[in-house]
Structure 1
Amino acid sequence: MSNTLVKALKTKEFRKKFLFTVFAVAVVRLGCQLPIPCIDSAQVSAYLQSTLGDSFNLMNSFTGGSFLSMSIFALNVTPYITASIIMQLLTIAIPALEEMHRDGEDGRKRMNKITRYLTVVLGLIESGSMAIAFAKQGTLGADYNALSIITMIVALTSGAVLVMWLGERITESGIGNGISIILLVNIVSRMPNDFYVLYEQFMKGKQIGPALIAGVIIAGVVIFTTVFVIILSDGERHIPIQYSKKIQGRKMVGGQSTHIPLKVNTAGVIPIIFASSILQFPLIIQNLFHYQNNGVIGKILVSLSSSSWFDMDHPARSAGLVVYILLVILFAYFYTSITFNPIEVSNNMKKQGGFIPGIRPGKPTQEYLNRLLSYIIFIGAAGLVIVAVIPFFFNGVFSANVSFGGTSLIIVVGVILETKKQIESQILVRKYTGFLND
């Protein structure tokens, strides 16, 4: 990545894009530090820390700590990410959206427009819910009123919309992947604090021997997880495709060989986000409304918290981990079925005169792709589970509670690899352009 960036920075055009990206990201990070007017942000932050526990870790990581500090960018990119996921799910359910998705560039622009409107709606719902909940708990300050609630709703919604706009500007005028770049910076900004927490917990004040062993173990776990995530993100299964020769006019065309690159982790980080959101939602509702139950419901709620998994004193609480693993696998299959359609791929190959060697076109190709896809999805889902469970294990056994984890690492590695490929493609295009101009 560093060599690619150095080569790209030698060109004036890319330097402008890079500096614009740095400026936009700096604006986002500045907004993450600005408190909401007319609100006692310190009291809100203390309330969130005391009530939500580790259920806000993922949200706080995605927002770069601004959710916990309840700044004007507290919602950050989360409404836009949620809106994008909802639009992807609705595309398979609503024929009009599916047709729009197939309309090429024009359809993509219309879907992006709908996603923006949905982001605003979600921002209003989330900010309104939080403002009302905080007001009922008396955490907005001693002299809060209706104006304070409206101010909080407007500030949080406007902050989410501004972050979305900055992300789109980075995509158009910067180095690309705007929302992903902002999400990457948010996650990375929390890592120094997390590593310092680990240092204080396992190394500070200890003798050299135990401190050194703890440092080596922490570094080893981080390196192993990062390398595993890179392998998982880059892993592909190439499906060979052969095109038959045909005559067009007086020329013989076709006959070339190619392949379909099918990623092992086809669903990305979406299954983990979905599974975590489903398990955390009841806990957030319980904490916000101070619901207490010592019976069966209370035990179920405790088992849903990731901090109770791998508890050696209460092994039954790890039942929530089993549910979490099943949800990750389920959503991996579900999301992949939306993004990759074997029937459509098979039909397109047949129309273009392509076939998989040894497999007849049509239904046999569909069945082959379905079998292969099921096998690959399971491998990818198993890899996701391993990456996601590692932080839960160390949290449960050693109480190593940090905001970043498997989900954050998958996002960081994925964004870095994708951005690297995009920068390389820009360098390649510039070389071709320069060659043609000469």
Structure 2
Amino acid sequence: MSTLQNILAIPELRRRILFTLAMLAVYRVGCHVPTPGIDAHVLAKFFEGTEGTLLGLVSSFTGGALQQMAVFALGIMPYISASIILQLLTVVFEPIEKLSKDGEQGRKKITEYTRYGTIVLAVIQGAGIAVGLQSMLGPAGEPVVPNPGIGFILMTVITLTAGTAFIMWLGEQITERGIGNGISLIIFAGIVAGMPAAIVNSIRLVQTGAMTPTIVVFILALMLVTVGAIVFMERAQRRVPIHYAKRVVGMRNMGGQASHLPLKINMSGVIPPIFASSIMMFPATIANFIDAPWVRTMSTYLSPSHWVYNVFYIAFIVFFCYFYTAITFNPVNVADNIKNQGGFVPGIRPGKETADYLDMVLSRLTFVGAIYISVVCVLPTLLISQLNTPFFFGGTSLLIVVGVGMDTASQIEAHLISRSYEGFMKGVTLKGRHG
């Protein structure tokens, strides 16, 4: 309670938190504004069979907006895809790489390109959804779109693209004027929005006898243990010691300090499970639109309840962990920066040997991080398939919720520490050595 009072006592922090909550409320309202020209009842019946598919995964990230085909149905996924594409281009495309090293102006240009890419991807995805909606039929054969045609396609593309652009603007406003990372908080809000329905569903299962109270207690205990493990692993890091040699600059001795280079166990965040889930759920999604024997067979083998799915899922997670870490962390550049600053790792020669050493340490850490992410993502699947129990915060969703919560709490704590430091320094006059 005292912590909440300290937070509310700081006017700037209070304004930032209230602004963030207001923007998230606007986002949630938009998730319930329907797209014109769609029969909502038929669409709801169609989505009842999409759990465990790519549509179900994306719908959970959009807070159910895709399932209701609201104006925010595309969510923030086009922005995330555009950001990832730009990050990949910084490695393989030299002009983008130069922009990334061009300071604040370069970052602004990359952000501008990301916005353009978001609009392009939103138009493409919106057109695909519009065409797909025209071919969808409900259980009784009734069409999802009563009046298909070019007019419906254009209206849907414009509506969904405008919705994505507005969400992107909301995220940027939260990052600039609110607290926390706006894009991450929007995904966080979309996932958490499904929690009341999951709780009601669990209570209904207990009342009907489909799930015993013992299993409920077991799930809650396992959820607490899993959250604790995620918090521990997300904070865990390997600190590589770095010493700086003494230098004489004018009449003063510089350097001689000892520092460290923190390397997180999970350098890639939630990107690997998102990519792996998208790839593995693609066959199940195709099976909703193509009625062919080989598609149904492949969909059965690659369903979350089958061991083949789990093997490939873990393999993709490990692959993307190494791939994304290699993109975001360059040992050669880090080693060169340490060398240029007069630093060195004890027992390791500066330059190439330092780069090789950092690459070896990072490879081992990435392997541990990949195993940790795989366990967190596969555990809910095993619970659902083996114990026939619902596990709402599963896999990728659980990682996002805990990670975003930790990041937002850290930023609030930073504001509190900054405020305390300003109060401590109030009235103190700093003097120079000759003052």
- For 2:265, the equivalent position in structure 1 comes to 264
**Residue 302 of structure 1, aligned match among 293, 300, 303:** 300
- Say whether the 8 Å CA contact 2:379–2:395 is kept in structure 1: yes
The offset of 1:373, in angstroms, is: 0.9
Query: Match of 2:74, SS?
Result: coil
Query: Match of 1:320, SS?
Result: helix
**In 1: Cα distance, 2:3 partner to 2:292 partner:** 54
Matched to 2:354, the amino acid is: T
- For 2:398, the equivalent position in structure 1 comes to 409
User: C-alpha offsets along residues 255-278 of structure 1, whole Å, 9 cap, x if unaligned?
Assistant: 111111100011111111111111
- For 2:430, the equivalent position in structure 1 comes to none
**In 1: Cα distance, 2:20 partner to 2:121 partner:** 26
**In 2: Cα distance, 1:135 partner to 1:53 partner:** 23
- For 1:234, the equivalent position in structure 2 comes to 235
- For 1:314, the equivalent position in structure 2 comes to none
The offset of 1:225, in angstroms, is: 1.4
- Say whether the 8 Å CA contact 2:38–2:144 is kept in structure 1: yes
**In 1: Cα distance, 2:242 partner to 2:9 partner:** 39
Q: How many residues align?
A: 422
- For 2:432, the equivalent position in structure 1 comes to none
- Say whether the 8 Å CA contact 1:35–1:71 is kept in structure 2: yes
- Say whether the 8 Å CA contact 1:58–1:403 is kept in structure 2: no
- Say whether the 8 Å CA contact 1:61–1:403 is kept in structure 2: no
The offset of 1:305, in angstroms, is: 2.0
**In 1: Cα distance, 2:63 partner to 2:7 partner:** 28
Matched to 1:31, the amino acid is: G
**In 1: Cα distance, 2:3 partner to 2:320 partner:** 35
**Residue 157 of structure 1, aligned match among 127, 142, 161:** 161
Query: Match of 1:204, SS?
Result: helix
- For 1:131, the equivalent position in structure 2 comes to 130
Pairing 1:195–2:184 present: no
**In 1: Cα distance, 2:50 partner to 2:333 partner:** 48
Q: CA RMSD in A?
A: 2.0
User: C-alpha offsets along residues 352-373 of structure 1, whole Å, 9 cap, x if unaligned?
Assistant: 1101112121222112111111
User: C-alpha offsets along residues 181-236 of structure 1, whole Å, 9 cap, x if unaligned?
Assistant: 111111111122223323333x22349xx833122111012112111111121111
Note closer, same or farther for the CA distance 1:400–1:60 as it changes in structure 2 (3 Å cut): farther
The offset of 1:75, in angstroms, is: 1.1
* Greater relative CO (CA pairs within 8 A, separation 6+): 1
- For 1:63, the equivalent position in structure 2 comes to 62
**In 1: Cα distance, 2:8 partner to 2:362 partner:** 40
- For 2:182, the equivalent position in structure 1 comes to 178
- For 1:357, the equivalent position in structure 2 comes to 346
- For 1:85, the equivalent position in structure 2 comes to 84
Percent identical: 41
**In 2: Cα distance, 1:54 partner to 1:428 partner:** 44
Note closer, same or farther for the CA distance 1:3–1:373 as it changes in structure 2 (3 Å cut): farther
**In 2: Cα distance, 1:5 partner to 1:170 partner:** 21
**Residue 205 of structure 1, aligned match among 208, 215, 235:** 208
Query: Match of 1:259, SS?
Result: strand
- Say whether the 8 Å CA contact 1:55–1:305 is kept in structure 2: no
TM-score by length of 2: 0.92
Deviates more, 1:401-410 or 1:361-370: 401-410
**In 2: Cα distance, 1:153 partner to 1:375 partner:** 45
Structure with the higher helix share, 1 or 2 = 1
- Say whether the 8 Å CA contact 2:133–2:145 is kept in structure 1: no
- For 1:221, the equivalent position in structure 2 comes to 222
Note closer, same or farther for the CA distance 1:115–1:350 as it changes in structure 2 (3 Å cut): same
Alignment gaps of 5+ in structure 2 = 138-142, 428-435
Matched to 1:107, the amino acid is: G
- For 2:357, the equivalent position in structure 1 comes to 368
Pairing 1:252–2:253 present: yes
- For 1:392, the equivalent position in structure 2 comes to 381
Deviates more, 1:80-89 or 1:259-268: 80-89
Alignment gaps of 5+ in structure 1 = 310-317
**In 1: Cα distance, 2:385 partner to 2:260 partner:** 44
